[in-house]
Amino acid sequence: MLLENRVAIITGGAVGMGRGIALKFAEEGCSVVVSDIREVEGKETAAEVSQKGVEGIFISCDVTDSRQVNDMVAKVIDKFGKIDILATPAGGMPGVTPGEGIVNITDELWDKIVDLNLKGQFRCCRAVIPHMKEKKYGKIITFSSMGVLQAPHSMVPYVSAKAGVLGLTTNLAFEVAPLNICVNNIMPGAIRTHFYDSAIGTMTDKEKEDFFAGLARDFVPMQRVGTTEDIAGVALFLASDLSSYVTGVTLYVSGGIPMIPHPHDEPT
């Protein structure tokens, strides 16, 4: 098993990419702390983790609150004595409508989105680094967005925050590299999760299926929308010792984006 006897914190672990990562890590022998504000779904995911023969626990945590982040990390240390892996997919666009122009973005909305998507990841990294330094071992996986390179809509505060994650990743990786702590970034493309479904929530089921088919056809060179399993597999590589000499990098998990597809060409 690639993660036997490891302990991981997954923020946003209740649903979507976080849930997929939690279950993948559990299959590889990792104890998983599911951290989220969604208590019902978080406890369900933690129970699924435990069913795979490892320990899964849920800790309610809002990553926009430093106190909650610090308390969550303290609870993990108290229970397991260490933190080997941190993955930080928690994020979102509360209050932002895709395509909404910058003139409609208030200071308050900007701060809210940046706080969740950039500062939330910073808080989690800051909280776990001292414990990883003590063990001289750690794997941190941050999460950006392919929208930084190829935005399908105007989402200025969200994409700006996700661009900031790239700087956080490379500079933190440089800081902690001598301590055998690896910090890498996943840049997801079009991955079908609750994030996408909520953004198009007014559509009928048929309209949603047509939307995703068109998205794959027009924007994704591999001609399919990604899954949480696609993300989880890359996260497993970055969390395991298979990537022990990899730090400060961003991996596109995007089906070929930002390459431009040729929708009228037949595959050869």
Considering 137, 158, 196, 252, which one is annotated as catalytic? Answer: 158
> Cα–Cα distance between 165 and 187 in angstroms, integer?
10
Count of other CB atoms within 10 angstroms of residue 60: 16
133-150 burial string, b = 16+ CB within 10 Å, else e? eeeebbbbbbbbbbbbbe
224 to each of 15, 145, 212, 214, how far by Cα in Å?
A: 21, 17, 8, 9
Residue of 7, 177, 170, 167 lying closest to 87 (CA atoms):
7
ω into 157 cis (within 30 of 0):
no
Per-residue tokens: 168: 């956080």
Residue 158 catalytic?
A: yes
The catalytic residue positions are 158
